[in-house]
Amino acid sequence: MAQILQRLQGDRTLWVIAVLLALFSLMPVYSASSNIAYMYGSGDTFTMLAKHGIHLLLGLLLMFAVHNMNYRHFGAIAVVMMPVAVVLLIYTYFGGVNTSNATRWIRIPFLGFTFQTSALASVVLLLYLARNLAKIDKADLRSFKHSFTRLLLPIFVICGLILPSNFSTAALVFIMCMMLLFVGGYALKNLLYLLGGGVVVLALFITLVMAFPNISNRVATWKARIESFVSPEKGDNYQVHKAKMAIAQGEIIGKGPGKSVQKNFLPQSNSDFIYAVIVEEFGLIGGFLVVAFYVLFFVRVLIVTTKAPTNFAMLAAFGTGLGIIIQAFVNLGVAVNLLPVTGQTLPLISAGGSSIWMTCISIGIILSISRGKLEENPEPAPEEMNPINAAHA
């Protein structure tokens, strides 16, 4: 055991949070999977638990492998992976697996599982932006014209390709990119241009869908979800209603592991609405502890960010950590009816391979940065230094 712990470098608190959330997820996923197993006619929840456990094990192995890499390589990897991500998103749109009226996955040949390409594309995009923000001249950073190709165009391309099948993910990736650009020192007026451009692209897309319905069948779903959130008495809010019932019935200490009743009625009870099952079974105390772990996770990410040795490391840690925490709180917000239904999973807890793997890779990147080991150029050039550290130099 001591030898294993010695190999786990970087921020130990992040390691503990990731492992504890992964281990804890086994209980609610096993419990909530009974409904899913019954729907698919197998009735075998142990198989679904084993599948989730394999996803977690592979994710933790990916986290360990990535955290052993020198963080300086992540920028170059993002440059190589950006065109790959674009091609995969295009392939997903035309030849992906259609599930629940959404084409978001591709089937991996010979392996028999599906992969959600938008999860990969979002991490690649954030690293790509972090690299370019760290390298671009300050004068170009203030110029909309000179920064468009290196910073804004990739955002529009990735988000535009995700949008037809997954509006919520496209919107979240867009918001994360704007926040990363702001932290990276991008001019506020250019951010407003970017926001305006995003609104125009969305309006244009909806107009095209209205004229050519075959482009996407998701607009009606978006409309129904927003109407259900704004006017519950008019919309079909079955999912949210059952989630609220589960949370209310959990009370303070919950019904106990495996004793959720609403899991039998909640669609996607082991993924999108797993937080409601957690609160029903573990009560307000369990729900609060889950939230506290995510808050602590982001605090540790901010600490890693402030101690990062270079500007790229700072932006990469902030961007990838921000992606995880935003996804987590969007999922929590949907469960308690603070946000419309989005289909976002709860990182490291919800069942699902792609989300778990990309979350673990993101944490591995943050852990690599927290190690602070520079295999080359031990003393970074002044323009590469983290501006937070440079101010105290």
Other Cβ atoms closer than 10 A to 201: 16
- pLDDT at site 375: 43
Sequence spans of domains, the chain: 8-372+379-390
pLDDT tens-place string over residues 300-359? 999 999 999 899 999 999 999 999 999 999 999 988 888 888 878 999 999 888 899 999
Are residues 353 and 48 in contact, defined by beta-carbon separation less than 8 angstroms?
Answer: no
List the beta bridge partners of residue 107: 114
Considering the entire predicted model, what is its pTM?
0.89
- pLDDT at site 358: 94
- pLDDT at site 165: 81
- pLDDT at site 158: 94
Q: Which residue has the tokens 């790509």?
A: 128
- pLDDT at site 228: 66
- One DSSP character per residue, 101-167 reads TEEEEEEPTTT--EEEHHHHHHHHHHHHHHHHHHHS-HHHHH-HHHHIIIIIHHHHHHHHHHTTT-H
- pLDDT at site 293: 96
- pLDDT at site 387: 59
- pLDDT at site 386: 63
Backbone angles phi, psi at 192, to 5 degrees: -65, -40
Cα–Cα distance for residue pair 292/294, rounded to 1 Å: 5
CA R_g for the chain: 21
Could you give the maximum distance between any two Cα atoms of the chain, in Å? Answer: 63
Backbone angles phi, psi at 370, to 5 degrees: -70, -20
Write the CB contacts of 170 (distance below 8 Å, at least 6 apart in sequence): 118, 159, 160, 162, 163
- pLDDT at site 37: 67
pLDDT tens-place string over residues 42-65? 557 888 888 899 999 999 999 999
Are residues 116 and 105 in contact, defined by beta-carbon separation less than 8 angstroms?
Answer: yes
Write the CB contacts of 257 (distance below 8 Å, at least 6 apart in sequence): 27, 31, 281, 282
Cα–Cα distance for residue pair 374/348, rounded to 1 Å: 29
Instruction: Tell me which amino acid residue 126 is.
Output: L
Q: Which tokens in the block code for residue 39? A: 């729907």
List the beta bridge partners of residue 105: 97, 116
Which DSSP letter does residue 116 get? E
Q: Which tokens in the block code for residue 103? A: 């084409």
Cα–Cα distance for residue pair 269/36, rounded to 1 Å: 8
Q: Which tokens in the block code for residue 8? A: 């786990």
- pLDDT at site 20: 95
Query: Which segments in the chain show pLDDT lower than 50?
Result: 373-383, 391-393
- pLDDT at site 391: 47
